[in-house]
Structure 1
């Protein structure tokens, strides 16, 4: 059977041999350019920088080194200014600790081996304040009390009781450091007039911890009335190299 030619023949001049492979050069991960330069395909038309960051993202990873350096310099200057603004308070606090009578001092004036006597009134007052405040803020039943806001009925009262029991169990049984840290806080509060407690999740212990922070390790502008309204709050954290490795 004879095979007739097709009605539509291929145009003259086209090589019927094997076609050459088309080379594709990737210039940029976002663009692909063909070898003849006539076609450019954008695989990612949206710039990554235009994507909105999430709330919990670390902004330091999105800024360049120069910008981070400027922010760090400005922050350190502000913290140094805060330290200088409270220098008078810090000096007075350190001098006050010397008159508690807890530190042995060898005197040479007015003669060698002279006895230096300090009154224990200040130390006794701080200990008495600590004991009374501890009894009020940390009773035997636990430090947590609950209050129902709004209409009280049987369900809300039972829910409040469950919350109270659970929180007291957490603070007295699981968070074993809570009571001793609270005692340290109250003693320091009577001496310095300010003390802080930091409640946070400790990844190394895999639980919530509550630690006492001395007033000298929390740096705020001296004129600030509260932590919430302060322009800056700086916590001086003392970590060993081993602790830093665990947090990495």
Structure 2
């Protein structure tokens, strides 16, 4: 149950390189809420892993599944070769996810846990066979570069992830220069989207609207924007 945010709670500043890459991966993979990653498996959420982990959690399920209980999460480290390695790109992540979603994989119990009502598997990409980009992936890179290039300036707020909670409740994970730690915002896609996007920066800044959801470790606080 959400509770008020204590005024003495200090925001944890995420490493900016990791935060930027989480946002970039989210931007590049958003189309997989419509386009399957494999068979009938779609992206149902992207979660910024709680600090200090340099990782992203990808939530997978069927296209009709929009509740955490029917979803499966994979935590993938962002660095390719330990803590000093290069950060993985969205295309690297797509290949890893496709490998995970095809064939049979056996997981050690030490790598399996629960979060927000769904099973979470912590993946070691070094144990997986590599999956290279296909022609459609490469075509998408070209199209993205022309129609949706990476922003030159940091968006405010910046989208770090999202998660379907119900059929009409979507949780956004955001940060901004004034609030570098992750703030979650629950919204209704069926509502007034244009008005919501216009008002979102000011609503996130309203301290009185912030609560804490103890069941969600991916954000410091929560703003519920689903009301009338």
The TM-score, its normalising length taken from structure 1, stands at 0.22
Larger RCO: 1 or 2 (CA < 8 Å, sep 6+) = 2
Which structure shows the bigger proportion of residues in helix conformation? 1
The TM-score, its normalising length taken from structure 2, stands at 0.23
Which structure shows the bigger proportion of residues in strand conformation? 2
